[in-house]
């Protein structure tokens, strides 16, 4: 995909900022859940900065998306791995970009099929403010960006596992 | 229309009728999707909303317990509405043709047909007949194919062996009457398994079976040597015509899988059986219940594989 050259915040710096925002609010029962794929990478980096002993897992929302009728099953279904009881836990859900809110809706539905969490909070690196289609907001935001509707912003990981944000034109 | 009636023009799966002719990448995509559904089957709520509002008809013209039940469970875990029809007991006995039955069910807004029929080619005929939005899954047609069984067997092998490219797999028993064996052989060769063997008396092998890319053995000791996966087929009593075998006892003596015969295979070999088993005919109880047996995991994986197939079809 051809990336657009535009000044974007450093993903690595946003993760450090986000960890500083989250750390004071952690409780003993908090668990970290990253949403595939960008959110899993972000959660993996947040985890040692927050509490290396905190349980963490990953969530794939392919089976809960609301655009199955339009586009079918996502080609790359990743296994969901939640190595803890969801029932009664404080869940910190992590995604790379909060845009329409539909992915977060799907993630919450998926989590509830594993049990009834006591609390779900949302942390995102980027909030595409003003583009929401559902009444969903993040509790922790790395940066707020305004991205035109014909462009897509997402997290990429290079061979050295460094994270960066990229902007692409949707065709 | 694409060359293969199972595929859409973009190469995605429209019907699942046979594994023969499906590309390797598509089989791997089914397995990767099934891996995702394994987690669903371990959830507290064993259900995802993918096929909510879809009507799936189980059209079984031939008796089946395991296959019909696992299709039903898979469809229900995808939130579809499932209607089971035991056709032999209804319309057909009143003289309705197969395609008239299908047209009537399509008029009831069916989205998918799961078809089991004693005639080879029945599912193909229905797939050619239905409207473009309706999907057909072959759940076993005559001696021809049983693709979801073949897929779940391959998925089980991948789970236990990790890959396919350096395996030796032996299929033992009644290959002649077995649609399962045909689907397994197509899948194994497509997935790049370098050595596929069949072990059976001459009377239970189709003519020119070598042309399917298998090595033929008539002796268990030679055939099982260095094998990583042993697949035992059921001796299909109900399909036996004439005297192909002297007796079940004699079959067990030469081809029944016992611990002694299994010792010829690799020590880490796994034993599979599509079920239902005839204990003491094609397999000894000590092997069926032994530590190398993966016969019950096959059943469990069958649900995830059928969920993968149905959700991929419905989304295409």
CB of B133 less than 8 A from some CB of A? no
**Average pLDDT along chain A:** 92
Report yes or no: B236 at the A interface, CB cutoff 8 Å: no
- Check B48 against A73: CB less than 8 A apart: no
Backbone angles phi, psi at A148, to 5 degrees: -60, 150
Beta bridge partners of B116: B60
Given an 8 Å threshold on Cβ–Cβ distance, is A80 in contact with B36? yes
Interface contact A75-B43, CB threshold 8 A:
no
Nearest residue, CB atoms, A113 vs list B35, B38, B45: B45
Cross-chain Cβ contact B49/A63 below 8 Å: yes
Q: What pLDDT is attached to residue A15?
A: 97
Q: What is the pLDDT of residues B214-243, one digit of tens each?
A: 999 999 999 999 999 999 999 877 656 566
Burial class (CB in 10 A: 0-12, 13-18, 19+), B159: middle
For the stretch A133-164, what's the b/e string if a residue is b when 16 or more beta carbons lie within 10 angstroms of its beta carbon? eeeeebebbbbebebeeeebbebbbeeeeebe
pLDDT at A14: 97
CA distance B47 to chain A (A): 8
Contacts of A112 in chain B (CB under 8 A): 45
pLDDT at residue A75, rounded to an integer: 67
Asked whether the beta carbons of residue A77 and residue B312 sit closer than 8 angstroms, the reply is: no
| Minimal CA separation from A105 to chain B, in Å | 13
Residue B134: strand, helix, or coil: coil
Sheet holding B135-141, edge to edge: B81-86, B55-60, B112-117, B135-141
Average pLDDT over chain B reads 92
Q: Residue A46: which of A100, A121, A136 has the closest Cα?
A: A121
More reliable by pLDDT, A14 or B96 = A14
Distance CA B247, CA B236 (A): 13
DSSP at B240: -
> What's the pTM?
0.87
Give contacts of B29 with chain A, Cβ < 8 Å: 75
What percent of chain A clears pLDDT 70, i.e. is strictly above it?
A: 98
The answer, yes or no, to whether residue B55 has pLDDT greater than 90, is: yes
Complex ipTM more than 0.90, yes or no = no
Instruction: State the average pLDDT over residues B51-59.
Output: 95
What is the 8-class DSSP label of residue A59? E
């Amino acid at each position: 995909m051809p990336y657009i050259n535009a000044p974007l915040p450093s993903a690595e710096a946003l993760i450090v900022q986000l960890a500083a925002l989250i750390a004071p609010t952690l409780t003993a029962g908090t668990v970290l859940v990253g949403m595939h794929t960008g959110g899993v990478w972000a959660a993996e980096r947040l985890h040692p900065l927050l509490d290396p002993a905190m349980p963490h897992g990953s969530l794939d929302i392919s089976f809960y998306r609301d655009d199955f009728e339009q586009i079918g099953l996502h080609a790359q279904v990743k296994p969901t791995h939640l190595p803890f009881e969801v029932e009664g836990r404080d869940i910190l859900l992590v995604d790379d970009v909060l845009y329409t809110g539909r992915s977060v809706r799907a993630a919450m539905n998926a989590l509830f099929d594993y049990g009834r969490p006591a609390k779900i909070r949302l942390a995102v690196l980027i909030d595409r403010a003003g583009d929401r289609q559902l009444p969903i907001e993040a509790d922790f935001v790395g940066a707020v960006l305004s991205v035109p509707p014909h462009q897509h912003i997402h997290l990429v990981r290079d061979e050295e596992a460094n994270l960066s944000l990229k902007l692409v034109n949707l065709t | 229309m694409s060359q293969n009636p199972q595929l859409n023009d973009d190469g995605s799966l429209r019907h699942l009728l046979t594994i023969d002719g499906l590309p390797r990448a598509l089989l791997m995509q089914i397995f990767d999707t099934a891996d995702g559904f394994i987690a669903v089957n371990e959830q507290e709520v064993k259900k995802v909303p993918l096929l909510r509002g879809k009507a799936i008809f189980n059209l079984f013209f031939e008796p089946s317990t395991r296959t019909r039940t696992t299709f039903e469970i898979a469809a229900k875990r995808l939130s579809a509405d499932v209607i089971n029809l035991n056709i032999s007991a209804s319309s057909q006995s009143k003289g309705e043709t197969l395609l008239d039955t299908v047209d009537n069910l399509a008029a009831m807004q069916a989205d998918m047909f799961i078809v089991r029929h004693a005639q080879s080619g029945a599912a193909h005929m229905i797939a050619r007949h239905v409207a473009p939005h309706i999907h057909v899954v072959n759940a076993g047609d005559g001696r021809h194919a049983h693709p979801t069984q073949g897929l779940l067997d391959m998925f089980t092998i991948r789970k236990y062996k990790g890959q396919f490219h350096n395996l030796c797999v032996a299929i033992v028993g009644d290959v002649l009457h077995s649609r399962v064996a045909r689907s397994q052989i197509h899948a194994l060769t497509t997935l790049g398994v370098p050595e596929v063997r069949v072990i059976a008396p001459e009377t239970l092998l189709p003519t020119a079976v070598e042309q399917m890319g298998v090595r033929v053995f008539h002796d268990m000791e030679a055939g099982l040597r260095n094998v990583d996966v042993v697949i035992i087929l059921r001796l299909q009593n109900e399909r036996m015509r004439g005297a192909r075998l002297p007796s079940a006892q004699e079959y067990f003596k030469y081809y029944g899988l016992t611990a002694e015969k299994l010792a010829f295979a690799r020590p880490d070999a796994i034993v599979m059986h599509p079920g239902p088993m005839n204990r003491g005919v094609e397999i000894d109880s000590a092997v069926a219940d032994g530590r190398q047996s993966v016969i019950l995991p096959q059943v469990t994986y069958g649900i995830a594989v059928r969920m993968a197939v149905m959700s991929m079809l419905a989304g295409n």
